[in-house]
Amino acid sequence: WKRWVEGKPETIIDPILAEDPRNEIIKLIQIGFLCVQENPAKRPAMSSVIVWFGSETIIIPLPNAPAFTGSLQSQSKSSTMSMSIVFTELSSR
């Protein structure tokens, strides 16, 4: 979020994706930020997201701060957060 606000979204793009169209990647980042805005009422409907994904000429609104921009550390003590992600691959019989 910090890089987005600074006007430097390209700094968060994985170098492996550097050959892909930069504007398309930044559009996806913008849509992602819209979907995680702090106020759920400001988040877009999935129908809007689908239209945005499929369009090259539509104007997408600018996002507000996402819900996760708060600091995870307090002044008196720090805390550690651990997270794991499980991917399940499904295949047909």
Distance from C-alpha of 83 to C-alpha of 23, rounded to nearest angstrom: 31
Residues 31-46 pLDDT 10s: 999 999 988 999 999 9
Residues 14-31 pLDDT 10s: 888 777 788 888 899 999
Give domain limits for the chain. 2-54
Give the CB-side neighbour count of residue 8, counting CA atoms within 13 A: 5
pTM: 0.66
Distance from C-alpha of 65 to C-alpha of 58, rounded to nearest angstrom: 22
* Non-local CB neighbours of 79 within 8 Å, separated by 6+ positions: 72, 73
What percent of the chain has a predicted confidence (pLDDT) above 90? 24
